[in-house]
Each structure stands twice: as structure tokens, then as C-alpha cells.
Structure 1
Amino acid sequence: MPTTATTGRPTARGLGYREREVLSAVGCGMRDDEIAAALALPEDRVAADLERILVKLGLRDRAAAIVHAFDAGLVVPGRGPRTEPVPPAPRAAAGRAAGPRVRISLLGPVEAWRDGRPLHLGHLRQQAVLAALALCAGRTVGRGELLDGVWGAEPPDTNVVPVYVYRLRKTLRADGGPDPVIAHDRGGYRLVPGAVDVDLVRMEELAAGLGPADRAGDAAEGLRLCARALDLFRGDLLAGLPGPLAELERLRLTERRISLAQRKAGYQLRLGRCSEAVAELFALLTAYPLNEAVAATLMRALLRVGRRAEALVVFDRTRRRLAADLGVAPGAVLRRAHRTVLSGEEPGPGPTGAAR
């Protein structure tokens, strides 16, 4: 059994990072299925890891592993095993059962909360590292990928990624307990599944429900889902974050936001809530005056409520703005809307735009 040279105290020397996590969880009295859920591992992998730990440390059974975890300092006395009221690792598992303790918001300035309390995430580059992990929730992100996404063509001279991750772990983890948020393995870093609620993931889940709502002909449900998804957006997307990844995601999420707003207007029109649709589309076009799809959607909505002259004004203003700012003529989408308005043919009642 490995011990320190001076004190004879058992250590976990010789164990890998994942094996230390497994041993800590065993020391807290967690079963294999609980460890598997907490560390996002298959249960047979946990059993194999434990068997390897016993061999490496020269321990005879699970009970000896629990004692060793306490003696090696991997479990704080008084906070384990499972019979104690607040053991760290089971507390994280219980927190996931009741809902993640940590929330991360990407649909605006990057922010995070733990148990409803705002967290200080450090400077913008460190926030960009957290955003990269949250944007890739569900998979491991390698150090090289983080460097490319956050620093681009000007990577740092020093190995700062582990430093930033270490600081973020300290900020995000449960008080005094093992880190339940960011995991690390040979492939890189990832958010532990179930440990974090990311608003982007919730938005995509809501958008995924639009297809079934359309197939069921349920415009009211589609409107509800769009409204809830749009409510998650809060101002400038990934505000101020540096790096190519943030820049690309700002563009993608902006298009997602516009698409959902168009889809919402389509449901409003189907439900006879035409004034609401027109007002929201006017606001959307004010925010994105060069977006031809938004202008076309607004023109058709105005035609539907008998405001044909205003629809033609929208076309003319958008055409002039495109020429002045981009030096281009209206595209096919805007030209089709213009022809529809000129012909006076009222558009059909289906949703305008699609959540891509």
C-alpha cells in the first residue's frame, strides 16, 4: 500500500485523475451506479476502475478502499460516508436529481449562478474558456481546440488553459466539495452532464418541440414554445468575448434568434393576433435592418392586415438600405414578397420563417 516516506500515511500516489475521483466517491460510500451517474461513466467502467485501484493500492476490498480514501485525505472526515447528512459527492448527485445547482447563461453576456447566487467568472478570456465548454456541452473539448477557439491565430506563450480551468472549477464547484462541474481526462475538459443548466441547451430543447407542434397543427403550443425560447435571450450575445469561436457563435445565435422571432410571428398570424405580430416584426426589422427575410415576413404580415401601402414602404426602405450599406440589390426572398404585395394576394396562414 503506497504511503508517504515520512509519516507512513496512506496516499493515492500512482493513481490517475479518474481513479482518484472514483476512490473519492467510494470513500463517500457511493454505489457503482451512483458513481457512474456522478462522473458520467458506464457502470462497468466504474467497476473496472475500482478493481484496478484495489490492485494498485494493495487493498483487499471496497471497505478497505473507503478507509484508505479517508486516510489519504481524499474524503474530509465528518462529510462522509453516505450515512452523514451532507457528504460531498452524494450531495452533488442529489442536487442533479433536484436540478443543477449551477446555471450558465450564454444568450447574452456570459454569466453564472450557483444556488441562485451570481458568480464572478474572471476576465473575458477566462469567460471565453467557460463559454467554449458550455457551447460544446455533452462532449470533451481538447486543449488545442480551446486555444484555437479562444485565442485563434495568437495563442498564449504560456500554458494558461489549465490555470483558467482551475480557477473556473473553484468558482463553480459546490462549497467545500469535490468539483461537480468541469471534468478532465486525457482528451481535454468537459462540463459534467447533469451538473449544469445552460440556457442555450434549454433554448434548443424548446425549439425542438416546434416540429411536433406543427405536425399536430397546434399553433398555440408553437407560439408558447417560441415565446419561452426567445425569453432566454438577454441582450448582446456573448458580449465582449474574444476569439473566433465567440464570433462565429454570435452570428449563429443571432440567426437563431431571428428565426425564432419569425416563427413566432407566423403562429401569431395563424391565431389572429395580427397586431402583435406586426409590432414585433417592426421591432425585429429595426434591430436587423439588413435582414431581407425579416423584411419579407413583415411585408406579408402587413398585407394580411390590409396595410398594403406600408408593406411597399418597408420594401423601399429595405431596398435603399441594402444599396447604401452593402451595395447590393434585393435578393429573391424580398423580391418575391414585393411581387406578392403588388399582386395583392394574401399569404397563407402557415408559420413564416423556420427555426433552423
Structure 2
Amino acid sequence: MTAGHPGVRVLLVDDQELVRSGLRRILRPRDGFVIAGECADGAEVPGALAACDVDVVVMDLRMKEVDGIEATRRLRRSGDHPPVLVLTTFDDDELLAGALRAGAAGYLLKDSTAEDLIRAVHAVAAGDAWLDVAVTARVLSTYRQAADRHPGSRAELLAPGEQDVLRAIGRGLSDAEIADALDISECTVRGRLERILAELGLRDRAAAIVYAFDHGIVTPGRSATDAADEETDPAPRPVVREPPPGPVSTLRFAVLGPLRAWRGAEQLDLGPVRQQALLAALVLRPDVTVSQQELLDDVWGLEPPGTGGKVVPVYVFRLRRCLRSAEESTSDSVIVRGRGGYRFAGDGVWMDVVWLEELVTQAGAAEQAGELTAAVGACADALDLFQGEPLAGLPGPFVAGERLRLTERRIALSQKKAELQLRLGRHAETVGELAALTAAHPHSEPLAALLMRALYGAGRRTEALAVYSGTRARLVDDLGVEPGEELRRTHNAVLCEDGESLGGYPGGLAARPGYPRPD
């Protein structure tokens, strides 16, 4: 961004008006963006760039006349040009690899959140590379054999400090993160990067990332935070995720976080993200036959793969091979071919979502019996099953719907737990949990009302009133609505110190034992 301009100037390139309209709604001036122009095909990009100043090109890959790869390649050949952020549904590893080699500074899946898109555009505009975490390791792992194809790596010619920077760049760290990890200045980082690019004959930062993976300098699947430790600790300890509870011998699935599966103590490799999305579409509909067309729609939506429906049986074959135990004689394993499609045989398979509902049922029974402490414990056990965002990183309309459903389930369960804790008088310990929840869901009026009740019960009336003011401001500014009846009623009760209405102390705060009465 240059002086005199109100934000990052973006050129949108996509052949679907609906997609461009959605991008316009996300990349708003209030978040630091200006839509400088739009193109419906890669052939229109040179003319658009000649007509306006652009900081970032957000480029679709699949377009009718000139696709995103060719358009990016032409921009690179033209000389000085703004960086390109590829925005794609991504089906083919080589397709995305071609985009990086053509000169794209980064890529992002169309299934990503609005927040990720905003961060990606800002990062690319600042000169950093952006690689979608959902597929980075798998995409670049296809190049791990490149060390054999390119035995003449020149990375050993770099000075030790430059090798450290190259390794960190390969991990996707920004200049500031590299400077912090290596205890050097950002100016030093930029200087070393310039020497790396010159010595290795690379055009930009994205090319340096690919080079690092091509030549085995960075191992796919390793955490970005390992960059600074890799030289001193050649074999950092991997992050070990414990299998979920359940019979050790059975096949187990976890979807309340990244999709994972275990057979015994062994975690299984479920393959590429779209293959995992197809598995999720079957696993979350156990014993239901899903047609091949439904699976295509579930995973690819309005942009089917170039191979059409042929990819579905290929993915099913790979999943069967992965999920089948050594003792199984059937070729189907737990994915059975039926009339009109495929069916996931859920009998005898442990799933965290099933256990989640069992714990919720236990919590309800305990509440009905008046055993509130046991109900809180069951809710806590259910919430512990969540290991981050449900189905994190997986693409497709079906997964998006399930992710939303499970996220709402988590919020509702968190609310129930908080309500039970307040009924037990655990106001102080509930405040922190609710504060974190309301920060993550700033427009949720039920959560705001609960936080106000918890703060009031903890003797923090002023803060409770501040929660109402902040929530109301966000609702008015962001959504153009006033608070609903429940939140207004809670606000009035706090104003009037009506502790009985709030489920707290009858007679208000002044009736609370130990609360200082006014003179």
C-alpha cells in the first residue's frame, strides 16, 4: 500500500459473478481493501492492470479462455507486476504446483474462512507468501522426490545464517517471525533473503518455499514453529495426538477437529483433503447409501473435477485400502458398494460424534435428577472431545454444513455447561470461560447474557453493564439491529440489581454474603 491510497488495491479475476460478488463483500474498505477492478477471464488481466494501480491480484485457476496459471505466467514474463494470490477449489496437486511455478505468491482454498482470505491478501500485499495450511504439506510433499531429480542443490553454498532463513521461509514464517526465531533484525532477514534469491537463481519468496521442499531442506508436514529448532535438534519430537477413548481394537473416527482415524493404536493416513472430505460425507451418514453424484456435489459443489465422476471410485478404492484391517478378507472394508452408491457400515465403529451425544444425554439425565455437578462433568467431558474446529481444513459444501452444525452444537453445549455452573453458584470460574466464548462469537446475545449474569454474580456489576454496551454496539454497527428481549431483560435486571431474576442472589448484590453494603 502506498501513501495516498485508502487500502490494499485488489484486482479480482474469476469467471463467476457470484464469486466476485462474495469477494467484494469480504474485502471491504473497513478492513483495509479497495476493489480496483474485476476480470471474468485471465485474458483481461493485462488490460485491467494497465487501467488501474493494483497491489494484489486474486486469481481463479479455472477460466474459459485463459486460465489462472497461464495468466500468472504471462504476468511474470511481462516484468514488474503485482503479486498473485490464487483462490481455487483445488483438486489436482499438479494443478496447484503449476500455479506456484508460474509465479503465484500464494494460494487459498475457496472453502476457507473470510478471515483467512483477509489475512492472505494482506500477507501477499506485504511481500510474504501464503500457503493454505489445509493442503500445504500434501501439495509440497509431491516434490519430496525432487531431491533425487535435482541432485545439484546449491543450498550448501549458502552461509549458515542464510540456510537458517531459507529453512524458516520454507516453513512459511514471515520476516517478523523469522527475526524473532533467529534473534536477528527484520532488516537482516530481508538482506539474507535477497542473497538467497540471487545465489539460487530464484525469482521470489514463493519460489524459495518450493525450492526448500524440492531439495529436502524442509520436510512436509512439520510445524512452522520447528524452523528455528531444526538445526540444533535434527529430529524434533512430533506432535502426538492421543487416540480418542473407546475399545482399543476397533476402528475409530474423530471429526470434532481435523478428521482422524485409528485402527488399534495406529493413526491412519487418510490421504488428500478432498479424499478426506469424501470420507467425511460417508462417515457422517452411517448406513446410508450415498450416490456417486451426491458425493461429487458434496465434495466439489458447483466446480466438479476435470475427471468428472471417475475420481469417486478412485478415492473409495484408496480409502478402503487404508481402512481395511490385515484380517479382513472383503475388499469393501467399511465402505460398501450398494445399489446406486456407497455406504459406510458404522456397526462396530467408534465415533466421537456418537460419544458426544451419549454424554449430552447423560448430562440431561443428571440435570433432571437434580445432580447438577454430575451434569456439569458430563458437559465438560463432551466439550473435551472437540480438538479445534470440526473437520478443520476440509473442503466442500457437505463438510461446510456439518462444520456449522457441529460448531453450533459446541456453542449450545458450552452455554448449557455455563448455565449449570451458574445454578451451582460458580460465578467466578464461569466468567473466564464465557469471556472466551463471547470473544469468539461477539454477536451471540445468549452468550453475552450469560456473561453478564456471571459477572453480576461475581460482584462485577460495572463489567456486566459494559458487556451489554459492547454487545449492543457490535450488533448495531455490524448487523444493524438492536439487542433482543433476553439481553435487554438481563441488562435491566443488572441495572436494578435484581439478583433473583438473574438466578443469583435475591435482593441484589447487597444481599450477597460478604458484599460491602453502601453507607
Length-normalised TM-score, structure 1: 0.66
- Out of 475, 479, 495, the residue aligned to residue 326 of structure 1 is 479
How much does 1:237 deviate?
A: 1.9
**1:204 corresponds to which residue?**
357
Q: Is structure 2 residue 370 aligned with structure 1 residue 253?
A: no
- Confirm or deny that 1:149 pairs with 2:303: no
Matched, 1:160 2:315: no
State yes or no: 1:134 paired with 2:289: no
1:243-290 CA-to-partner distances (Å, cap 9, x unmatched) read 111111121111111111111112222223222211111111122122
- What amino acid maps onto 1:201 in structure 2? V
Matches within 5 A, 1:34-53: none
Q: 1:188 is aligned with what amino acid?
A: G
Q: Find the aligned partners of 1:133 and 1:193 in 2 and give their Cα distance.
A: 10
C-alpha displacement of 1:337: 1.9
- 1:179-328 equivalences under 5 Å are 179-328=332-481
Q: How far did residue 182 of structure 1 move?
A: 1.8
CA-CA distance at 1:99 after TM superposition: 6.0
Aligned to 1:111: 260
CA RMSD of aligned residues (A): 2.0
Query: SS of 1:155's equivalent?
Result: coil
Deviations 1:67-125 (A, max 9, x none): xxxxxxxxxxxxxxxxxxxxxxxxxxxxxx95652211111111111112111111111
2:199 — aligned with what? none
Q: Shift of residue 162 of structure 1?
A: 1.5
User: Identity rate of aligned residues, in percent?
Assistant: 53
- With 151-160 and 224-233 compared, the bigger mean Cα shift is at 151-160
CA contact (8 A) 1:111 1:121 kept: yes
Cα distance in 2, alignment partners of residues 311 and 138 from structure 1: 48
Q: How far off its partner does 1:211 sit?
A: 2.6
Verify: 1:344 aligned to 2:501, yes or no. no
**Structure 2 counterpart of 1:198, which letter?**
M
Match in the other structure for 1:170: 321
Specify the code of the residue in structure 2 equivalent to 1:251: L
Equivalent pair of 1:262/1:294 in contact (CA under 8 Å): yes
Alpha-carbon separation, structure 2, partners of 1:98 and 1:303:
45
> How far apart, in 1, do the equivalents of 2:287 and 2:361 lie?
17
Counterpart in the other structure of 2:514 = none
Partner of 1:125: 274
Q: Which consecutive residues of structure 1, in runs of 5 or more, have no partner in the other structure?
A: 1-96, 350-356
CA distance in structure 1 between the partners assigned to 2:432 and 2:420 by the alignment: 14
Question: Cα deviation per residue 1:23-63 (whole Å; 9 max; x = unaligned)?
Answer: xxxxxxxxxxxxxxxxxxxxxxxxxxxxxxxxxxxxxxxxx
What amino acid is the match of 1:207? V
Equivalent residue letter for 1:272: G
SS at match of 1:159: helix
Give the direction of change, closer, same or farther, for the CA distance of 1:100–1:196 in structure 2 (3 Å limit).
farther
One-letter amino acid matched to 1:118: Q
CA apart distance, 1:176: 5.2
SS at structure 1 position matched to 2:483: coil
Distance (Å, rounded) in 1 between the aligned partners of 2:491 and 2:449: 8
Question: Is residue 308–residue 341 contact of structure 1 (8 Å, CA) maintained in 2?
Answer: yes
User: Which runs of no fewer than 5 residues in structure 2 stay unpaired?
Assistant: 1-245, 505-519
**Is the CA contact 1:180–1:195 (under 8 Å) kept in the aligned structure 2?**
no
Cα distance change on mapping 1:140 and 1:99 into 2, 3 Å = farther
Pairwise CA distance, 1:160:
1.6
**Secondary structure of 1:184 counterpart:** strand
Deviation at 1:298, TM superposition (A): 0.8
Aligned counterparts of 2:415 and 2:378: Cα–Cα separation in 1:
13
Q: Identify the residue that residue 78 of structure 1 maps to in structure 2.
A: none
Supply the distance in 1 between the matched residues of 2:440 and 2:486 (Cα, whole angstroms): 19
Judged with a 3 Å threshold, the aligned counterparts in structure 2 of structure 1 residues 336 and 187 are, in CA distance, closer, same or farther, namely farther
Give the deviation of 1:187 after TM superposition.
4.1
Please tell me the residue identity of whatever aligns with 2:339.
R
Amino acid at match of 1:150: V
Higher relative contact order (CA 8 A, sep 6+): 1
Q: Deviations over 1:209-251 (max 9, x none)?
A: 2332222111012111100110000112211211111111121
Taking the TM superposition and a 5 Å limit, the aligned residue runs for 1:59-138 are: 101-138=250-287
The SS at the match of 1:264 is helix
User: 1:24 matched to which residue of 2?
Assistant: none
SS at match of 2:258: coil
Kindly indicate whether the alpha-carbon contact (under 8 Å) linking 1:268 and 1:277 is maintained by their aligned counterparts in 2: yes
Q: Do 1:100 and 1:197's aligned partners in 2 also have CA atoms closer than 8 Å?
A: no
SS at match of 2:271: coil
Does structure 2 retain, via aligned residues, the 8 Å contact 1:223–1:267? yes
